Amino acid sequence: MAQIKSLPLHLENLRKIFIKSVESVRPANLFDRTKYALQPKLDENKRVVIKIQGKTFDISRKRCHVVGFGKAVLGMAVQLEKSLEKRLVSGVLSIPLGTLKQFKDDSSMQLSADTKIEIFEGAPNNQPDQVALEAAKNIKELAERMGENDILFVLISGGGSALLPMPKIPIQLEQKQNLIKRISLQGASIDEMNIVRIALSDVKGGRLAVAAKKAFAVISFVISDIVNDPVDLIASGPTSPIRSRKLRAHDILKKYHLWQDLTQEVQNMIQNDDIPETPGLNNTIYIVGDNKVATETSVSESVVLGYNPFILSTSIQGTIDDVLKSYKILLESLKRYQNEEITEDDFLEVFPFDCRIFKHFIKTVQMSKKAGKPLLLILAGEPTVHVIGSGVGGRNQELAMRMSLELFTNPLLRDVCFLSAGTDGIDGPCSAAGAIGCSLVVEEFLKTAKMEELNKFLEENDSYNFYKNLCDGCFHVVTGHTGTNVMDLHFILVS
């Protein structure tokens, strides 16, 4: 299908806002903030110290080491190496396959020429492999070598679960991988998947911190990719014991009808899970970045481009069907309110988000109308999709495709634009971060195809090929690996 002459300016602007928002949560920008400045300094007692969020660590005569696993940890390690210089004596990173090539020309992602950090690139398509397993073994061995004069820095970000696989005996890596994949395809949340991962792991759920219990200090820096920033679940919490015991691995496996497929030996191992209660008094964890940083940037960038922004939520969860239903209710009610068909009280009754923000939301809507500026609704989080087809794609592209159909079929919403994309630059096992949704998407498709064919793409969960073949992929959002990950961003533009 031929490329259309040009996309409407609003659609290009949504893409610009997304890219700027992602830039704000790259490690070089996150660690540039004062509270995470790690440059060692002499204090009044002539001790060499670093200060993190007001806490002082004496690193005099200490050996510093770093381990890391996740999509953002290369950039985090670069910042740490620049700060500690020769005090950093060893390290191991487990990063996604292709990361070094992706960022070969990016100075903020380059370790020093004489770096002491060993790098493993593995887990293609966010699936654990033998390279990631070897990296995990090296990371745990380094932690176990720590002594009273050693400080271990642990860098953690989204994707860390797949990049730090160390299954408990008798589980084999391939068995664990297949089990997690089956749960994912059935629409399990990231919380559920990580609780199962913890139960099957010899290094997650606080066990890495336990391995380093003899260290002078274990200091973890985390870039969050889970709603509400639960440090015990991000990358399956290698330095934090699981805090919530409401969900147990065997309950989750039963919920998705997978428990009966396990051997009795594996069932016993899961039921007798021995997650440590405390990884040690030497253990501190800091969240250095999350989707709140990204959405704040979305606000500032949208103002520059002439929009009136409002952050509706940073905790979008549930299935794509649930999310789509909420967005449809919101937009239909908003349009009816703007057309004075319903009152403010009527709108509040069906408002699908936190009612405590409603008054502020209404004020923003009114300001937009008065100023004649489009309203940009900003949301963030990570919904799930239940895959039943054999197509290629991810939750962002599928949500954008379904949203396009909703906006096309409802005359009230024809002028609404939508963008859904993952801040890691990856949406499912493909090259796109996400896609744009609007009535124009369906209009362009129907120029050369029928609605039955669009429905077929939906049935097959084949959103990637739908967008790839539509107007030379001009509605795709493609960034490549971004070197960070704070879940997904959703933008809804209402004229």
DSSP characters over 342-382: S-HHHHHHH--S-GGGHHHHHHHHHHHHHHT--EEEEEEE-
Among 259, 289, 319, where does a domain finish? 289
77 and 50 within one domain: yes
- Residue 20 is assigned to a structural domain of this protein: no
- Residue 334 is assigned to a structural domain of this protein: yes
Tell me the angle at which helices 320-338 and 395-409 cross, rounded to the nearest 10 degrees: 40
326 and 251 within one domain: no
Q: Is 484 helix (H, G, I), strand (E, B) or coil?
A: coil
Per-residue pLDDT of the chain (495 residues; tens, 9 = 90+): 455 667 899 999 999 999 999 999 999 999 876 566 678 888 888 899 998 888 899 999 999 999 999 999 999 999 999 999 999 999 999 999 999 999 999 999 999 999 999 999 999 988 899 999 999 999 999 999 999 999 999 999 999 999 999 999 889 999 988 999 899 888 888 889 888 999 999 999 999 999 999 999 999 999 999 999 999 999 999 999 776 556 789 999 999 999 999 999 999 988 886 666 655 668 999 999 999 999 999 999 999 999 999 999 999 999 999 999 999 999 999 999 999 999 999 999 999 999 999 999 999 999 999 999 999 999 999 999 888 999 999 999 999 999 999 999 999 999 999 999 999 999 988 999 999 999 999 999 999 999 999 999 999 999 999 999 999 999 999 999 899 999 999 999 998
327 and 282 within one domain: no
What is the per-residue DSSP string for 134-166?
Answer: HHHHHHHHHHHT--TTEEEEEEEETTHHHHS--
- Residue 21 is assigned to a structural domain of this protein: no
d(CA 438, CA 14): 12
CATH at 357: 3.40.1480.10
Among 289, 318, 347, where does a domain finish? 289
Among 257, 289, 321, where does a domain finish? 289
334 and 261 within one domain: no
- Residue 38 is assigned to a structural domain of this protein: yes
174 and 92 within one domain: yes
271 and 329 within one domain: no
421 and 361 within one domain: yes
- Residue 19 is assigned to a structural domain of this protein: no
242 and 333 within one domain: no
Question: pLDDT value at position 33?
Answer: 61
Question: pLDDT value at position 243?
Answer: 67
Question: pLDDT value at position 283?
Answer: 92
**Closest to 462 (Cα-Cα) out of 419, 424, 429, 489:** 429
Token pair belonging to 324? 């789509």
CATH at 54: 3.40.50.10180
Token pair belonging to 350? 């069906």
Q: Quote the number of domains for the chain.
A: 2
- Residue 18 is assigned to a structural domain of this protein: no
Residue 108's domain spans which residues? Answer: 26-289
395 and 256 within one domain: no
Question: pLDDT value at position 51?
Answer: 87
d(CA 397, CA 422): 10
d(CA 396, CA 324): 12
97 and 73 within one domain: yes
433 and 328 within one domain: yes
36 and 132 within one domain: yes
**Can you give the pTM of this predicted structure?**
0.91
- Residue 3 is assigned to a structural domain of this protein: no
Question: pLDDT value at position 450?
Answer: 96
- Residue 476 is assigned to a structural domain of this protein: yes
